[in-house]
Amino acid sequence: MPVLPSQPPSDSAPSAQTAVDKALVLLKSLAELDGKIGVTDLARRTRLTKSTTFRLLGILQRHDLVERVGSDYRLSARLFDIGARVYGSTPLVLHERLMPYLADLYEMTHETVHLAVLHGTDIVYVNKLQGHRAIRSPSRIGARLPAHCTGVGKALLAFDHDAAEATITAGLTARTVHTCTDPEQLRTELRRIRQEGIAYDRQEALPGLSCVAVPVMGSAGRPVAALSVAGCTRRIDAARLAPALRRAAYEAGRAMSAASVARHPASASLNGLPAA
């Protein structure tokens, strides 16, 4: 199998890159950021010329795929709507209905908080709130990470035997030296999570980043999502954060169950999720 270059080819290098290729390179680079970036810096990251970068950003902006913030650019919310078509309507429903509980959790902790769902053997971040103390993190709304190396992922895998076994079968890839790569060790941890109702990421997705997570249970007694509080490892105190997480997850679960029963009494007991 040929080895792909770690960087996209230069804009001036002879290649088969079309304007569409270059626009996609820009979108992918913006997706790797957790904020906005200027044209010059984006051109440097993508190895495109500044004039090409500026021209393509203008086209993407006209199509509502990126938005301009002063002289900088970032991805637009329109891409989240497009991504929702990949994952179905559930993430959008959760994003809207659980936003108040995510906000409550942020107010109680003043750390970065996440809402995520399970998608195969990965988790997808549905929502995220962060404050002034946020540190570098791989989490972004719409982003995917392997479930076994995140707190939210383990909180969900603990209650989904098939997904847990599929994750183990696919291989527990290490993202850091702390990532659990031993199948039996992961199974033991998932059993503990089922008993205690709380999961941890101890620098397993990114060095220096830790989180505490809990599942949000639906009307069928299965988790429909997971909440987490994340931050600098030296600052994250699981014992202090656990009560706030449990309270937020409990209230969010009650809200989801009530909405599901009220709107779809016949099907609520089957899946615990409301239809969009």
Instruction: Please report the domains of the chain, with CATH numbers, ordered by start residue.
Output: 19-76 (1.10.10.10), 86-271 (3.30.450.40)
pLDDT digits (tens, 9 = 90+) for 206-229: 999 999 999 999 877 889 999 999
pLDDT digits (tens, 9 = 90+) for 116-146: 999 899 998 988 998 777 777 888 877 889 9
Indicate if the pLDDT at residue 267 is higher than 70. no
The helix (run of H) or strand (run of E) holding residue 37 is strand 37-38
pTM above 0.85, yes or no: no
With beta carbons less than 8 A apart as the criterion, state whether 268 and 219 touch.
yes
What are the start-end ranges of the H helices in 16-72? 19-31, 39-46, 50-62
The mean pLDDT value for 46-74 works out to 92
